């Protein structure tokens, strides 16, 4: 590797305190600090992030760039354009990497030259974790366990880029992220499609681990799923070949009973848009009371919000906004 082995690009929005902790943790890597740089791509934050990053004292080279809020894809590209390291690592601002994080990515690239590396990103929970965090942790940590199984073949929807590394020249070859993806979701799947088309294989690395400090409540989950539904339509129109691999291309994935209920709810929401607010309020009520019915309801209700976003995008035409 070159003298500057890694460029860690952190896209961030309105998470100043989490970002400060992340910058501090990254100072304690087992790899010497002159071997890596950090680039903070501030996507329109107005919470002091820009000022904090500009004055943060770090043993590694730290640069930051600010832009008006344009979404994660645009922020990632802005950071990648500034990168000088041989390997670029994308790291979300809610991650908490261990001391051997960079060693894990380095070892994975040495073992799999020319590949894209997806690092493990388990969600930590304890007795105080709110219901939404516990729900996400249970689902995502099981997903990671599947990825780590011997012989597991990675599927299209397995890809994520919150802890992800790739040679800088391959980022340039593939063309970075598609900035038409502005709201939450699917910019990484779109990127992975072009990555695979360029002949780059994605490999999962349990050793390149950074834990997630998940902070969203149910309202945040609902908003994300609305975005994922909208951007799934955008993705399928850009690359029709991926439609069978997306939820919108597999409407019969759910049980017949739920499909009937979901269709009824979506029709009711078209007639009375307030239905969505009522459903959201109901889930927030369950969340506040830590009801045992919250987790069993989450999958269905988030699926409803996903399809609500997808149907809106289908009616309005393709748009990432």
CA distances in angstroms from 219 to 18, 63, 222, 264, 301, listed in the order given: 20, 33, 5, 22, 11
170-181 burial code (b ≥16 CB/10 A, e <16): bbeebebbbbbb
149, two tokens: 């199984």
pTM for the whole structure: 0.93
314, two tokens: 């289908």
List Cβ neighbours of 137 (8 Å cut-off, separation of 6 or more): 122, 123, 124, 125, 129, 214
Query: Which pLDDT score is estimated for 318?
Result: 56
Average pLDDT over residues 57-80: 96
Query: Which pLDDT score is estimated for 1?
Result: 43
Question: What are 158-169's pLDDT values in tens digits?
Answer: 999 999 999 999
320 φ/ψ angles, rounded to the nearest 5 degrees: -85, -5
Domain ranges of the chain: 6-212, 218-316
Give percent of the chain above pLDDT 90.
89
Query: Which pLDDT score is estimated for 127?
Result: 86
Average pLDDT over residues 236-252: 92
Task: State the Cα–Cα distance between residues 124 and 136, nearest whole angstrom.
Answer: 10
Question: What are 150-208's pLDDT values in tens digits?
Answer: 989 889 999 999 999 999 999 999 999 999 999 999 999 999 999 999 999 999 999 99
Residue 274 CB neighbours (<10 A):
9
**Please, what is the angle between helix 72-82 and helix 187-197, to 10°?**
50
> Is the distance from CB of 104 to CB of 205 less than 8 angstroms?
yes
Task: State the Cα–Cα distance between residues 79 and 7, nearest whole angstrom.
Answer: 9
Task: State the Cα–Cα distance between residues 192 and 161, nearest whole angstrom.
Answer: 9
Task: State the Cα–Cα distance between residues 181 and 72, nearest whole angstrom.
Answer: 8
Task: State the Cα–Cα distance between residues 223 and 277, nearest whole angstrom.
Answer: 12
Task: State the Cα–Cα distance between residues 233 and 231, nearest whole angstrom.
Answer: 5
CATH code, residues 6-212: 3.90.550.10
pLDDT at 2 over 70: no
Query: Which pLDDT score is estimated for 320?
Result: 53
> Is the distance from CB of 31 to CB of 2 less than 8 angstroms?
no
């Amino acid at each position: 590797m070159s003298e500057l082995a890694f460029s860690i690009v952190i896209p961030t929005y309105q998470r100043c305190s989490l970002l400060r902790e992340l910058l501090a943790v990254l100072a304690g890597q087992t790899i010497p600090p002159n071997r890596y740089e950090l680039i903070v791509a501030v996507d329109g934050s107005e919470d002091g992030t820009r000022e904090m990053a500009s004055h943060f004292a770090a043993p590694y080279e730290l640069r930051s760039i600010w832009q008006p809020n344009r979404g994660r894809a645009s922020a990632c590209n802005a950071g990648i354009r500034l990168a000088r390291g041989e390997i670029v690592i994308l790291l979300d601002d809610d991650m908490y990497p261990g001391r051997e994080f960079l060693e894990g990515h380095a070892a994975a690239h040495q073992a799999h030259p020319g590949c894209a590396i997806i690092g493990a990103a388990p969600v930590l929970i304890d007795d105080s974790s709110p219901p939404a965090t516990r729900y996400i942790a249970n689902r995502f940590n099981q997903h990671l366990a599947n990825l780590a199984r011997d012989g597991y073949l990675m599927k299209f929807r397995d890809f994520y880029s919150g802890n992800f590394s790739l040679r800088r020249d391959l980022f340039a070859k593939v063309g970075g992220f598609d900035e038409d993806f502005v709201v939450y979701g699917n910019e990484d799947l779109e990127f992975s499609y072009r990555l695979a088309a360029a002949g780059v294989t994605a490999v999962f690395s349990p050793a390149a681990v950074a834990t997630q400090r998940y902070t969203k409540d149910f309202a945040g989950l609902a908003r994300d799923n609305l975005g994922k539904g909208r951007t799934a339509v955008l993705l399928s129109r850009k690359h029709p070949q991926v439609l069978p691999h997306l939820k919108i291309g597999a409407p019969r994935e759910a049980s017949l009973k739920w499909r009937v209920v979901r269709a009824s709810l979506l029709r009711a929401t078209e007639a009375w848009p307030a239905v969505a607010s009522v459903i959201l309020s109901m889930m927030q009520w369950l969340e506040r009371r830590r009801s045992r019915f919250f987790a069993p309801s989450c999958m269905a209700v988030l699926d409803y919000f996903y399809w609500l976003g997808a149907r809106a995008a289908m009616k309005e035409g393709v748009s990432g906004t």
